[in-house]
Structure 1
């Protein structure tokens, strides 16, 4: 009987899924609506804010918000307000969540040494949300039953079941102790979208190459948490170098309209 109920539950869930294409034309299966993903992002971000101390440094907060706000203003959808929080931690990490949330750890500022390099990371993380990678990951966790049963879903109806699994699928492995990594195709898509996004926001896309070189040097052989599931740095840097021919004209066209330079605190 349990097996039959689980099968029926699976069919009900999968019936509502959408099969679409990613920005690069790769097929995506998305089980959740944008509203459900926003609810999950809101819940996850609220939990992180309870667990992680926020930075009280006004200069750092102003700097990070300046970079993040320029990135989000370059997005096609201007109706979504974005919340930006700087967390006081040595972690070299950042993330973006559905529902309009960006988290940046102060440790990242030791590696992303200027506004353009910080914009590379924030643009990349926002790109994951923009390309529905978050939905894709959570859907993959749901379909594979990684540590859960399909019947346990409760998004938008009395809370969220298996929060840790979903947070891991959103890339929040630092908070929950394990992670369901993005695939290389997703990472490459986020690199492409993120570099174009930062260029449209008036940040120099050439800094993306230097940023990932810095990342590859950080944290010894293991590298920082941000790189724990990412493609090899040589592969990533080569792709970013190839992207400059397209990204630089976007930057040259947009930087003329940029009025505020984001000043890194000394």
Structure 2
């Protein structure tokens, strides 16, 4: 479709015209205006819908088969600057990894070598993406968070963001992400459902203020006193209980989550993986993986291990510096004081040992920590002007995490 026509369609959507055409593939039609609502059906490029209500991020539509719900406003924009959710296009809580692993011919390897040794959480590997709160509880949480302050939209407009490059969530990306999540959560998950919901609600609040606000987020809180936090390209974040113990306020947690989400939106994990997965990318990922590997798991295992090593050892210095800045912006746009990452990093600098062991999950940042601190401090002081409307929320954080 020509660019001019795309612009006309996008403008028509925003100006209240009654009919439009979906411009992207794997678009989730959801029950409500948010990535945390269940999926009604999947729409694809060329599907016609009727516009019922327009918004800045979400648009209410009805389909030719009388289904109604909400789609991301990006559904009406052509181009490659959004995530193609591919294998995650159905209801994300139903997306399991076991079939993926079987077809990739690596499930036996995982079970035999890692699960037996107690370094793999099979439950998380099988289902890394989960719903940890119901939509109404989140809407109440969001309303309470912004109570007596500016509206969410006003915070969101404080620092304009350009759209980043998009990527496709294919079978390989999902499988390796699920495997990595399983290894990072090997100690098990905390059983405090209130704490888990709280951390996930903050993650949703931050995600709504990113370019990829339609990406479903899941945060797993690991029951270990080791200190680490990592993100995977499919929108899964792993944070240890030990990390939460180092945090003293909600704005520090918001900035940390923003940092991890930034790794996803900036495409860091996908970029690294893309260097290795070219040989088994295909339209039918299941079939190609079967044909390429059969019972030989060496390439897939190497890819999975490389992603895990990236996660636990700290990514490239430039990735971390980019995520520091972008994470501060995300927290800022969500209404939090943006210096939370600075205060947290200063504490972590004295807490986390410089262990050269590549299997030590605490070794999550590179040695250029002071450079990152200086760079982030300079950016915040220059670009992110705050006032009394931006919060830290120390009391709410302390109340919910009191049992750690």
TM exceeding 0.5: yes
Q: Distance in 2 between matches of 1:237 and 1:63?
A: 28
Distance 1:214 1:264 in 2: 21
Structure 1 gaps, min length 5: 1-19, 21-27, 144-149
Summarize the alignment of residues 130-169 of structure 1 with structure 2, pairs less than 5 Å apart. Answer: 130-140=265-275, 142=276, 156-158=285-287, 162-169=299-306
* 2:180–2:304 CA contact under 8 A, matched in 1: no
1:182-201 to structure 2, matched below 5 A, reads 182-201=315-334
Shift of 1:193: 0.9
Q: 1:71 corresponds to which residue?
A: 206
Q: Deviation digits for residues 155-205 of structure 1, max 9, x if unmatched? A: 9325595444333443x3399xx85x5221111111111111111112211
2: CA distance between counterparts of 1:242 and 1:206? 11
Q: Is the 8 A contact 2:259 2:328 kept in 1?
A: yes
CA-to-aligned-CA distance 1:3-28 (integer Å, 9 cap, x gap)? xxxxxxxxxxxxxxxxx9xxxxxxx9
d(CA) in 2 for partners of 1:187 and 1:36? 26
Residue ranges of structure 2 left out of the alignment (5+ in a row): 1-80, 82-164
Determine which structure has greater relative contact order: mean sequence separation of CA pairs < 8 Å that are 6+ residues apart, divided by chain length: 1
Q: Which residue pairs with 1:243 in the alignment?
A: 379
1:125–1:50 CA distance, 2 compared to 1 (3 A):
closer
Compute the TM-score of the two structures, normalised by the length of structure 2. Answer: 0.47
Task: Please give the alpha-carbon distance, in whole angstroms, between the structure 1 residues aligned to 2:258 and 2:349.
Answer: 18
Give the CA deviation at 1:211: 0.7
Equivalent of 2:258, from 116, 123, 126? 123
Question: Which residue of structure 1 lines up, in the alignment, with residue 218 of structure 2?
Answer: 83
Is this contact kept in 1: 2:352–2:362, CA < 8 A? no
For 1:147, the equivalent position in structure 2 comes to: none
Partner in structure 2 of residue 23 of structure 1 = none
Measure the CA separation in 2 of the matches of 1:168 and 1:114.
34
* Comparing 95-104 and 185-194, the one that deviates more: 95-104
| TM-score w.r.t. length of structure 1 | 0.68
Per-residue Cα deviation, 1:191-235 (whole angstroms, up to 9, x for no partner)? 111111111112211122111111111134449845444242211
**Structure with more of its chain in helix, by fraction:** 1
8 Å Cα contact 2:324-2:341 kept in structure 1? no
How many residue pairs align between the two structures? 226
Label 1:153 to 1:252 Cα distance change in 2 as closer, same or farther (>3 A): same
CA RMSD of aligned residues (A): 3.8
Task: Answer yes or no: is the 8 Å Cα contact 1:39–1:156 preserved in 2.
Answer: no
Q: Secondary structure at the match of 1:157?
A: helix
Runs (4+) of structure 1 moved beyond 6 Å? Answer: 152-155
Question: Given that residues 228 and 239 in structure 2 are in contact (C-alpha distance below 8 angstroms), is that contact kept between their aligned partners in structure 1?
Answer: yes
